[in-house]
């Protein structure tokens, strides 16, 4: 038996642990393993297949990034190529990919990726590729699993940043706005905001009103707390749209963090600064939780293959790793439930959620 | 409404987060809060009750230890006191404690503690004290909850130690034995051992045979891996007892880590060193996960009181905080299930569990 | 003897260690200690003097921020106050401050601050205030001392950020521009850039040419290294001015990091992102080095007072703490020497310094 | 030109940074580089020479351990080999080593090591090997240099451990004894003890009296501080010998940390626990300071070769890297000066040094 591993989409701390878990579990069964460099580029592009054995996955559990490389631009159904004249064209190269799998004698594929990569995997399954999925998302918004590797590390990175900003916010009596990841789901903002003692947390699931945000800051001011910490998910949106607060010119500038900061400064007169954490959240050594989850996901993916459960992905249903059909997971992306106890905790702690 | 908070048993990172969560959630409802210093010493001994408001719980989420102090020697049913002649006597001071609650106008108690402290709380409930519990255990062995605060931090501390020892073990071609906490349950050893790429993991749930352990080390030696990392839970036991391996004199010396190391050195001829992590695992700043869980537990405990669910404790049933009757939780302490995927993962990775 | 402690200017990790060192060393001599809240606001404004004894400085060595608060707006010679109509006026309140020192029986002052605060202290000395200085600068640009507390922590924070960005820069084949502190001196950029394996480091001491920067990126591209890491000090300047590269409109936007990123993207066609670390560098728990230096500075300041060496500041001349006249230190701010071995090391490692 | 790099003695965080600095600086000059595996085993034993270029030293700055391996058993003048009958014999294989250098066309050697390895290097110099040294010691006891890489990381590891133990020491009202490295010099104990707010610090340079130690603990007890933190260097010795405190049987057991703990418990009646940090201090990712110092040392070693300064080692004379004749450095190992300001600071802070 020969299996291949591919990773697609953005980095997530723990990717290398998944690879290690899968490779060792495969070798343990006497199987052969290869890695496809940079999504499917190792089969369709200039990159190569790389053999993966115990030596290749030694000492990588705690390393950020991925030894296979990754990419956001590797959809075999819409493969982009640059022509000599500089323009881009798209081909469907999926058939070619399926042939390449066969040509290399690959019996099964472990596709590690987020929503996008898992959808591509789902289509490859229809083309006859025997595959299982491993969900990967910093934002924790893939359905069917309680958590994915990388999320805990991202929350830790964001919390550490909020911690560091707290002391200077207080010394300088400023409002600090920290923009964290979370395009559709506010898990990072909510978790890091709670753990970092934020005063305001704005998430995509709850449209915010700037008056509520500013009232919270004014209320703190009145209590002698001359600084405030605002955590904003990149996907947070104003109720009724931002045109309520900013003219077209100003909406153009910066992300939601900058825009929220500008309105706060204007409305409250408090000096306000923004920090956009950006890719800091995707990097670095995974936390112990993410290392462990990665190893377990990797080993479980191999067990799924051994059981012939193709079209499924591994998932965490604490304390157990289970399998979930890809169709089911992709049908219901995760969002912060408004009746969750984390939301209740935030309100109990007196944190404003902007509503 | 006036509520009191007590903490009993050993330290666990995240305790201060629980206290903060509970105090802010209580204040948010217009309630008053007091802390009982050092278990019940603040009511029965020389310590005092301390008022707890927003100012007292400011900036404590990330601090190790507990602002209330804690103790292992505070069972009101068996209160120990030292007589002038140096001997110790035990009284049942539970009635006195119940009166003290009433005298101070305490309407409900949040008892934060492990198995021992929660049992005491259970008995106080029988005496008419309105109370709810918050489970606390580094070892993760309290029943009814998927996890408790402090466990994730302990696993991280242990994993970091294993990481640090790995490089010198390799350079010096030694066997390193790391003894971690876990008297009855091997969760810390298993998690840290997996995350830290241990070669052997010994846990209380699986009696070990030293021949298996030594075979693993010899096998690595044969593969050119001239070092090994062995993680042992303090409660791990040899199949058939240690007299199989060590004479009475030697069994007396040191903990299980030292004993395992001595047998390895003797049987394999490899230089072997032991590190006992001990209290390192109880200290330090809690991880983000533990901060968050602490805050959520604290706020949820106050909600339990508001709902009148006395005799229950808060518990994590991911992703939600639920309540569980104390009787139910105490009836079934947690152990590592032998059919868990973590055990399967360990075996898939080629790790010896000593069996 | 009664001494007072004031802190001025931005936060620097290690400030609390200085305060602890000074207070314990003073108490050890039987002296009394008070802290002036927020620069001189504790004597001239709405803040108070706070008594400082062992209890007040317990457990603060590793805390970021300062227990005394700080401010950038507290020059007693140019004291700013807001009139009821919202406009600001400036007074010279230095005489009043001197009288307040006398009125409170303060025999000597320990002024902790950067260039600005130490200059104010120098003028107070002329007015008859017996004082000693403790240099404080994240940027390491105060003269007369090999290092100041806070610098090592800032370098560590910046290096950790560069580490985290490295893996995603590589996965996504991007150029990352990280803007770090250093208005006049490039110590943070040079140290963190070296430690974090940057490819380009731009510092105020060496005007940069964008062609050199872009050539380095293109050269890496040609070697198959499809990503680059650029570290820019906030005070770095283009040789001949930025109008060489950007029109007026674009120069207006963002800091030097953003501007450098825009030119790189335009000239090389590589996707380029910026991260501005900003106040992250001023916060957080001090490194061991900064804790230690803070404690030593604080204790040494008290020894200076005991020796009557007023008008001096403590300074590090490794491995010893010495004293330097304030005039001498203020006369010669520190810059990265162009013939330093750190510069030579950067060039030896193949790092472009933009020249 | 072809140069070789060898590392000898125990691990020190920063070793890989030295190797990277040297290799890149050599390549930058158009030189060739090889690494000798495991001390001189790569030339005399079963290990090999490994080519070292940019690819081999990529991404290793922050890794603990050494990519070349190291060993304590590689003195070519006293080379130990195991005979078939299990006994060990020693040969002088230095001539053979010199011939091997020539046979491989090695023009110069960079010998990275502590006191022992540098002495061996000194003898090889006499045999005609063109070499320069790079000092390596966790303990900071090599003469001629203000600091060596690894020391800062060791101090940080020890300080973090003390931090973690503090909270539980306080909760449980115990005395904690932490034994840290430092056979002949107390730099680690003194630095970590200061930074970690120890109450007692025992170093080899100051023979201790247990009465003084116990008095400090009793004094704290009287002040209501029911716990104490004692930091002991492994080389600390009792004034007049330990037979003053312990009988022969008990002296035999454990290291100095255990012995000190036993006497404290006996004399004060306080529950006392020991933690021996051991090899934790040699491992882990180097601090930024150590990464930087390692890179600078490595690059400077290559410059020494370029300048033909054989028989010298690189050294830190802050803020500059200088060169020092090996003879000079070896003649005067470093100890904590009793009149240093660190000692004065410790006394000013009320810390007992046991004298």
Distance from CA of C23 to the nearest CA of A (A): 21
Tell me, yes or no, if the two domains C2-150+286-318 and C153-282+338-348 fold the same way: yes
Q: Do A69 and C278 touch (CB under 8 A)?
A: no
Q: How far separated are the first and last CA of chain D, in Å rounded?
A: 55
Q: Could you give the angle at which helices C151-172 and D288-306 cross, rounded to 10 degrees?
A: 80
B300-321, pLDDT tens digit by residue?
999 999 999 999 999 999 999 9
Provide the pLDDT for residue B127: 96
Q: Do B24 and A350 touch (CB under 8 A)?
A: yes
Distances (CA, A) of A191 to A201, A295, B215, C305, D297: 10, 24, 45, 48, 43
Return the exposure string of B266-279: e unless at least 16 CB atoms fall within 10 Å of the residue's CB, then b.
ebbebebbbbbbbb
Question: At residue D149, does pLDDT exceed 70?
Answer: yes
Which residue in the set C66, C70, C165 is minimally distant from A280, CB to CB? Answer: C165
Distance from CA of A121 to the nearest CA of C (A): 20
Provide the pLDDT for residue D41: 86
CB-based contacts of D115, cutoff 8 Å, min separation 6: D137, D141, D142, D330, D333
D194-231, pLDDT tens digit by residue?
999 999 999 999 999 999 999 999 999 999 999 999 99
Q: For residue C350, how many other CB atoms are within 10 A of its CB? A: 15
| Interface with chain D: mutation pick from C198, C225, C348, C350, highest number of D CBs within 10 Å | C348
User: Residue C82: pLDDT band by 50, 70, 90 thresholds?
Assistant: confident
User: Residue C17: pLDDT band by 50, 70, 90 thresholds?
Assistant: very high
CATH 3.40.50.2000 is held by the domain C2-150+286-318: no
Between D251 and D101, the higher pLDDT residue: D101
pLDDT mean over D310-323: 97
Question: At residue D251, does pLDDT exceed 70?
Answer: no
CB-based contacts of A242, cutoff 8 Å, min separation 6: A251, A259
B207-260, pLDDT tens digit by residue?
999 999 999 999 999 999 999 999 999 999 999 876 667 776 666 667 899 999
Tokens at A157, concatenated: 């990175």
Identify the closest residue of chain D to B74 by CA–CA distance.
Answer: D172
Read off the pTM.
0.95
User: Residue B172: pLDDT band by 50, 70, 90 thresholds?
Assistant: confident
Known catalytic residue at C139 = yes
Distance from CA of A271 to the nearest CA of B (A): 22
C247: number of CA atoms within 13 Å, CB side? 1
A27-66, pLDDT tens digit by residue?
999 999 999 988 898 899 878 899 999 999 998 999 888 8
A75-89, pLDDT tens digit by residue?
999 998 888 887 889
Q: For residue C254, how many other CB atoms are within 10 A of its CB? A: 17
Distance from CA of A216 to the nearest CA of C (A): 23
Chain center to CA of B40: 20
Provide the pLDDT for residue A237: 93
The domain spans of chain A are 2-150+286-318, 154-282+338-348
Q: Do C283 and A163 touch (CB under 8 A)?
A: yes
Residues of B in contact with A350 (CB under 8 A): 24, 28
Q: Do D24 and C303 touch (CB under 8 A)?
A: no
CB-based contacts of A275, cutoff 8 Å, min separation 6: A161, A165, A176, A177, A178, A179, A257, C276, C278, C279, C280
Cβ burial of A296 (10 Å; 0-12, 13-18, 19+) is buried
CB B8 within 8 A of CB B74: yes
pLDDT mean over D263-269: 94
| Interface with chain C: mutation pick from D195, D305, D314, D321, highest number of C CBs within 10 Å | D195
CATH 3.40.50.460 is held by the domain C153-282+338-348: yes
CB-based contacts of B107, cutoff 8 Å, min separation 6: B1, B2, B3, B130
Q: Do B25 and A349 touch (CB under 8 A)?
A: yes
Between C80 and B24, the higher pLDDT residue: B24
Distance from CA of C309 to the nearest CA of A (A): 30
Residues of A in contact with B319 (CB under 8 A): 146, 340, 342
CATH architecture of D154-282+338-348: 3-Layer(aba) Sandwich (3.40)
Q: Do D171 and B284 touch (CB under 8 A)?
A: no
Nearest CA to D277 out of D170, D353, D204, D176 is that of D176
Q: Do A155 and B303 touch (CB under 8 A)?
A: no
C194-223, pLDDT tens digit by residue?
999 999 999 999 999 999 999 999 999 999
Chain B neighbours (≥3 Cβ pairs under 8 A) are: A, D
Residues of B in contact with D12 (CB under 8 A): none
Distance from CA of C154 to the nearest CA of A (A): 11
Which one is catalytic: A139, A141, A152, A258?
Answer: A139
CB-based contacts of A205, cutoff 8 Å, min separation 6: A185, A186, A335, A336, A338
Which residue in the set A195, A299, A318 is minimally distant from B291, CB to CB? Answer: A195
Provide the pLDDT for residue B244: 66
Identify the closest residue of chain C to D288 by CA–CA distance.
Answer: C156
Identify the closest residue of chain D to B254 by CA–CA distance.
Answer: D254
Which one is catalytic: C11, C75, C115, C139?
Answer: C139
| Interface with chain D: mutation pick from C345, C350, C351, highest number of D CBs within 10 Å | C345
Nearest CA to C318 out of D320, D151, D323, D14 is that of D320
Provide the pLDDT for residue C253: 66
CA distance B141 to D235: 40
Residue written as token pair 């590891």: D157
| Interface with chain B: mutation pick from A147, A156, A168, A195, highest number of B CBs within 10 Å | A195
C127-146, pLDDT tens digit by residue?
999 999 999 999 999 999 99
Residue written as token pair 């106040």: C279
Residues of C with CB under 8 A from a CB of A: 10-11, 63-66, 69-72, 157, 160-161, 163-172, 176, 273, 275-276, 278-280, 282-284
Reported ipTM = 0.94
Residues of B with CB under 8 A from a CB of D: 10-11, 63-66, 69-72, 157, 160-161, 163-172, 176, 273, 275-276, 278-280, 282-284
Q: Do D279 and B72 touch (CB under 8 A)?
A: no
- Could you list the beta-strand ranges (E) of D114-262: 131-135, 175-180, 200-202, 228-233
Identify the closest residue of chain A to B20 by CA–CA distance.
Answer: A349
Q: For A104-150, where are the alpha helices, taking DSSP H only?
A: 115-126
Provide the pLDDT for residue B251: 64
A286: number of CA atoms within 13 Å, CB side? 31
Pairing of strands B175-180, B228-233: parallel
Identify the closest residue of chain B to D277 by CA–CA distance.
Answer: B275
Which residue in the set B321, B341, B347 is minimally distant from A296, CB to CB? Answer: B341
CA dihedral D120, D122, D126, D130 (to 10 degrees): 100
Paired with D230 in beta bridges are D177, D200
Question: At residue C243, does pLDDT exceed 80?
Answer: no
Asked whether the CA dihedral D143, D149, D150, D154 is positive or negative, the reply is: positive
Identify the closest residue of chain B to A151 by CA–CA distance.
Answer: B289
CB C111 within 8 A of CB C123: no
Residues of A in contact with B163 (CB under 8 A): 62
Q: Do B288 and A191 touch (CB under 8 A)?
A: yes
Residues of B with CB under 8 A from a CB of A: 20-21, 24-25, 28, 59, 61-62, 146-147, 152, 155-156, 159, 163, 166, 191-192, 194-195, 197, 287-289, 291-292, 295-296, 299-300, 302-303, 318-321, 340-342, 344-345, 347-350
D117-130, pLDDT tens digit by residue?
999 999 999 999 99
CB D105 within 8 A of CB D2: yes
Distance from CA of A177 to the nearest CA of C (A): 12
Tokens at C140, concatenated: 């390491």
Provide the pLDDT for residue D244: 66
Which residue in the set B62, B295, B341 is minimally distant from A345, CB to CB? Answer: B295
**Which residues of B are catalytic, by number?**
139
Q: Do B288 and A344 touch (CB under 8 A)?
A: no
CA distance A150 to A11: 9
Chain center to CA of A186: 11
B63-105, pLDDT tens digit by residue?
888 889 877 778 999 998 888 887 889 989 999 999 999 999 9
CA distance A206 to A343: 10
Question: Which residues does chain A have with pLDDT short of 50?
Answer: none
pLDDT mean over B159-184: 92
Residues of A in contact with C71 (CB under 8 A): 171-172
Which residue in the set D155, D195, D320 is minimally distant from C341, CB to CB? Answer: D320
Distance from CA of C224 to the nearest CA of D (A): 11
């Amino acid at each position: 038996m020969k299996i291949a591993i591919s990773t697609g989409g953005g980095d997530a701390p723990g990717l290398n642990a998944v690879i290690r878990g899968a490779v060792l579990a495969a070798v343990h069964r006497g199987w052969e393993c290869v890695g496809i460099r940079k999504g499917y580029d190792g089969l369709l592009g200039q990159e190569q297949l790389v053999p993966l054995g115990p030596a290749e996955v030694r000492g990588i559990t705690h390393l950020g990034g991925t030894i296979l490389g990754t990419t956001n631009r590797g959809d075999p159904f819409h493969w982009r190529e640059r022509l000599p004249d500089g323009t881009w064209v798209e081909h469907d190269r999926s058939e070619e990919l399926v042939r390449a799998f066969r040509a290399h004698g690959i019996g099964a594929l472990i596709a590690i990726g987020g929503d996008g990569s898992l959808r591509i995997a789902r289509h490859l399954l229809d083309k006859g590729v025997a595959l299982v999925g491993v969900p990967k998302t910093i934002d924790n918004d893939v359905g069917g699993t309680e958590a994915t590797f990388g999320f805990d590390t991202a929350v830790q990175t964001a919390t550490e940043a909020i911690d560091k900003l707290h002391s200077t916010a207080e010394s300088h009596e400023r409002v600090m706005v920290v923009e964290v990841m979370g395009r559709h789901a506010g898990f990072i903002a909510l978790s890091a905001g709670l753990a970092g003692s934020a005063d305001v947390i704005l998430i995509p699931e709850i449209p915010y009103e700037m008056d509520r945000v500013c009232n919270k800051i004014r209320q703190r001011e009145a209590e002698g707390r001359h600084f405030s910490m605002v955590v904003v998910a990149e996907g947070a949106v104003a109720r009724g749209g931002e045109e309520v607060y900013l003219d077209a010119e100003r909406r153009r500038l910066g992300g939601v963090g900058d825009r929220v900061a500008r309105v706060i400064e204007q409305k409250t007169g408090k000096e306000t600064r923004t920090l956009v954490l950006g890719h800091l959240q995707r990097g670095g050594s995974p936390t112990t939780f993410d290392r462990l989850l990665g190893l377990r996901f990797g080993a479980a993916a191999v067990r799924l293959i051994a059981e012939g459960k193709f079209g499924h992905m591994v998932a965490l249903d604490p304390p157990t790793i289970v399998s979930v059909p890809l169709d089911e997971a992709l049908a219901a992306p995760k969002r912060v439930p408004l009746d969750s106890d984390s939301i209740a905790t935030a309100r109990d702690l007196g944190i404003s959620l902007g509503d």
